[in-house]
Amino acid sequence: MKILCNKADLLKGVSTVSKAVPSKTTMPILECILIDATSAVIKLTANDMDLGIQTEIKGTIVEKGMIAIDAKIFSEIVRKLPDSEISIETNDNLQTTITCEKAKFDLAGKSADEFSFLPKIEKDVSINISEFTLKEVIRQTLFSIADNETNKLMTGELFEFSGSTLRVVSLDGHRISIRKIELKEDVESKKLVVPGKTLSDITKIVSGEIDKDVVLSYTNNHIVFEFDNTTVVSRLIEGDYFKIDQMLSNDYETKVKINKREFLNSIDRATLFVKEGDKKPIILDIGEEAIELKIKSQIGSMDESINIEKEGKDLMIGFNPKFLIDALRVIDEDEVTLYLMNAKAPCFIKDEKENYIYLILPVNFNVGA
Amino acid sequence: MKILCNKADLLKGVSTVSKAVPSKTTMPILECILIDATSAVIKLTANDMDLGIQTEIKGTIVEKGMIAIDAKIFSEIVRKLPDSEISIETNDNLQTTITCEKAKFDLAGKSADEFSFLPKIEKDVSINISEFTLKEVIRQTLFSIADNETNKLMTGELFEFSGSTLRVVSLDGHRISIRKIELKEDVESKKLVVPGKTLSDITKIVSGEIDKDVVLSYTNNHIVFEFDNTTVVSRLIEGDYFKIDQMLSNDYETKVKINKREFLNSIDRATLFVKEGDKKPIILDIGEEAIELKIKSQIGSMDESINIEKEGKDLMIGFNPKFLIDALRVIDEDEVTLYLMNAKAPCFIKDEKENYIYLILPVNFNVGA
């Protein structure tokens, strides 16, 4: 095999597929990037068996062929080369020579025969979402998946298609994040549970332009994202997702409108008094015209009041400050509305159209503390 | 005590003195910043017994007094406060209340009686150096101090004053870095060994402006840096520094002029093949018109040639690539000159006026490898 391509194109391709290279594995071939120059275009592929990424790069195929190269060393070499044309050439012993200007690197490649190619996907449906919207909806929900593996379903996000709506849901047992987005057309109803890692990787490689689309398709076991000459194939998480709608409610006893930035900054300050691991709640003392935020720990105490618009009863309720911060950070609006029932019932932060709903469970607190 | 000051001033002061707060100590008082509002100005001080920093901040003293506050929590509070006026007030129980807009923090302070104040220094000499020059000379030499404590002198830098010259020297047993700077006037001859940590902290708090000066003074045990309402007092390292001049030589058999950027980038690429801990040398094969750089390891091999101007013999010599990189990175010139004797003698990288000299010992290499 011999190919020529320029550094910028190769580097972009290598960075893209590297997301599917596992950081730890007992199978050295999974640590490789496959360079496939057997057809008319140069394709790079990496596949950790749960997630596979393939991307096409510009370049010239001088001699057809395939080679698998250690992803880490390959991407480091490419990154450090001068901004110029790169030649990659292999011999019969899989020895690979990378040349750029006067620099010449030799390293041992692996046979493409060992490589796990991406599964072939039969595409029945395809759904278009703008890159920007997909990236945003992931950012606005991904923080509340669970990171432990005791409940596999919690490590993924529900992608629920119905009519012309996509609802994305994540939950970790303490909170639920829900975002609804309008699609350009009606699609078949379908529920998919997509691994959190896949979504996190997608946000890193999708450029996020508003007028470029990602094309989604799926089978029973896989979801496919196509954009920008790149195909990402991920396994789905098996099983029925949690019944979210039973947990949602429109009743409330207290409704609070508050400036988001002030609320967020104040909670952020309160976290100074919370050492990692100790579960000190922040106490919201909701009065007629202001919320008083209070936190007290061995280190010291904080007390701050913020003006609000309130309907309904006064209420004192405690939260894990991190959960409030996570939700407030991904809400773009200047003002948010909290709906509360009592000190033991979940708090809902949502907009009127319910394009977003963040449900957060309160924590017990000792008023005297 | 009660003082008022604005956030920006207080934050700058706290960040400055925090450099003298030890990260680990068994004495809680050393983890504190002292706020001293007993005189006409507000002074902040921290002191880890080796290094002490004091800075004055703008503000109003409403009620005179002193208090020591945990540096970490205090600086985090100040950082997170709104950009507004801050009030700090203590009561008779050393309880300290920090108020800013509607936020109020309470924490326990410590008595100033426990605090170790900076040593009083009798100033006989004072030497002016521009902040820029001091920062530069530290950056250009500090990388080659030794970080282990087996030879205390190697963990500091020699500041050698003679005539109107300051010579700064660091060495770690494998290399020596020397920078000479012209002072504005003649000063008394003196050799001081300044701890590396002090110099590293100084570069972080000196702003580096060309037309502002740092005033240096010293006693037998201490060096003092004064700038921008800030005083840094550091212990000196005791003992006679190494006799550098015996190690320097002007003889050479091979003289090489090379483009610094090309040389540096090429060595940087070669380091891809060196895993941390394995001491693979880079081999410089110096020919008539080019240097060939070669490195070979289990991972693979690299080979690159760079055009040079050469005088004298051809030579093949091996180096730890990191040592070459460290020296080349801090040389600002576009072209550098290497002076070599043979494969076992040190290489000198220096300019004609010897304003800088970087001596690097070669390493053995196996030509066949």
pLDDT tens for each residue of B256-271: 999 999 999 999 999 8
Confidence of residue A298 (pLDDT cuts 50, 70, 90): confident
Percent of chain B's residues with pLDDT above 90: 89
Q: Is residue A367 pLDDT above 60, yes or no?
A: no
Q: Which two tokens stand for residue B119?
A: 């040593």
Over residues B26-84, the pLDDT tens digits come to 899 999 999 999 999 999 999 999 999 999 999 999 999 999 999 999 999 999 999 99
Average confidence (pLDDT) over B134-144:
98
Residue B217 domain flag = yes
Give the strand pairing for B315-319 and A356-360. unpaired
A214 and A274 within one domain: no
Mark whether A259 and A200 lie in a shared domain.
no
Helices (H), chain B: 7-18, 71-80, 131-139, 196-205, 260-270, 321-329
Which of A105, A259, A294 is the best substitution to test chain B (most B C-beta atoms within 10 A)?
A105
- Count other Cβ atoms within 10 Å, centred on residue B206: 22
Q: Take residue B290 and report the two structure tokens written for it.
A: 């080019």
Place of tokens 């290497």: B338
Same domain, A258 and A236: no
Residues A138 and A218 in one domain: yes
Q: How far apart are CA B20 and CA B26, in angstroms?
A: 15
Indicate whether B121 belongs to any domain. no
Alpha-carbon distance values, B49 to B29, B36, B116 (Å) = 11, 18, 8
**How many C-beta atoms lie closer than 10 Å to residue A288's C-beta?**
7
A139-163 average pLDDT score: 94
Domain for residue A23, yes or no?
yes
**Tokens at residue A262, please?**
């002030």
Backbone torsion region of residue B18, taken as left when φ is above 0, otherwise alpha when ψ lies between -120 and 50, otherwise beta: alpha
Pairing label, strands B230-235, B315-319 = unpaired
Structure-model confidence comparison of residues A298 and A229, the more confident one: A229
A-side interface with B, Cβ within 8 Å?
73, 76-77, 80-82, 102-108, 265-266, 268-269, 272, 299-306
Least Cα distance to B287 among B319, B314, B324 occurs for B314
Q: Is B49 left (phi over 0), alpha (psi -120 to 50) or beta?
A: left
Domain holding A66, by residue range, is 2-114
Query: How many Å apart are CA B180 and CA B164, to the nearest integer?
Result: 10
Assess if residue B213 is contained within a domain.
Answer: yes
Between CA A213 and CA A215 the distance in angstroms is 6
> Of A226, A245, A264, which marks where a domain is finished?
A245
Question: H-type helices in chain A, by residue range?
Answer: 7-18, 71-80, 131-139, 196-205, 260-270, 321-329
Tokens representing residue B153 in the block = 């002198």
Residue type, B56: E
Contact across the interface for A269 and B81, Cβ inside 8 Å = yes
Indicate if the pLDDT at residue B369 is higher than 70: no
Q: How many domains does chain B have?
A: 3
- Are A304 and A355 in a shared domain? yes
CB contact under 8 A, B102 and A304: yes
**What is the predicted pLDDT for the residue at B367?**
55
CA distance linking residue B14 with residue A82, whole number of Å: 43
Residue A52: inside a domain: yes
> What is the rounded CA–CA span in Å between residue B236 and residue B238?
6
The chain-wide mean pLDDT, for chain A, equals 94
Question: How much of chain A, in percent, has pLDDT values that exceed 90?
Answer: 89
- B-side interface with A, Cβ within 8 Å? 73, 76-77, 80-82, 102-108, 265-266, 268-269, 272, 299-306
Q: Which two tokens stand for residue B216?
A: 């240096």
> CA-CA distances (angstroms) from residue A360 to A3, A247, A318, B184?
54, 11, 11, 65
Q: Is residue B340 part of a domain?
A: yes
pLDDT one-digit tens code per residue, A265-292: 999 999 888 876 777 899 999 999 999 9
Residue A366, sorted as left (phi over 0), alpha (psi -120 to 50) or beta, turns out to be: beta
> What pLDDT score was predicted for residue A369?
44
Is the domain of A132 the same as that of A238?
yes
Q: Taking residues B130-152, what's their average pLDDT?
A: 94
Chain B closest-CA separation from residue A107 CA (Å): 4
Q: Is residue B154 part of a domain?
A: yes
Q: How confident is the model at residue A243 (pLDDT cuts 50, 70, 90)?
A: very high
How far apart are alpha carbons A106 and A88 in whole angstroms? 10
CB atoms within 10 A of CB B94: 16
B130: confidence class by pLDDT, cuts 50, 70, 90:
very high
Question: Do A108 and A145 fall within a single domain?
Answer: no
Same domain for B187 and B131? yes
> Which pairs from A353-358 meet CB under 8 Å and 24+ separation?
A354/A178, A354/A180, A355/A179, A355/A180, A355/A181, A356/A140, A356/A177, A356/A178, A356/A179, A356/A180, A356/A331, A357/A176, A357/A177, A357/A178, A357/A248, A358/A175, A358/A176, A358/A177, A358/A178, A358/A327, A358/A331
Tell me: ipTM over 0.95.
no
Residue A366 lies in a domain: no
Last residue of a domain, one of B51, B81, B114: B114
pLDDT tops 90 at residue B129: yes
Secondary structure class of B203 (helix, strand, coil)? helix
A299–B73 C-beta distance less than 8 A:
yes
Residues B8 and B95 in one domain: yes
B133 and B233 in a single domain? The answer is yes
Pick among B83, B94, B102, B307 to test the A interface (most A CBs inside 10 A): B102
**In the predicted structure, residue B150 carries a pLDDT above the cut 90:** no
Q: Which of B75, B90, B114 is the last residue of a domain?
A: B114
Q: Are residues B152 and B229 in the same domain?
A: yes
| A149: pLDDT strictly greater than 80 | no
CATH of the domain at A48: 3.10.150.10
Measured CA to CA, the distance from residue B143 to residue B1 in angstroms comes to 44
Assigned token pair, A293: 């935020």
pLDDT for position A348: 98
> SS3 letters for A51-100?
EEEEEEECCEEEECEEEEEEHHHHHHHHHHCCCCEEEEEECCCCEEEEEE
- One domain for residues A140 and A214: yes
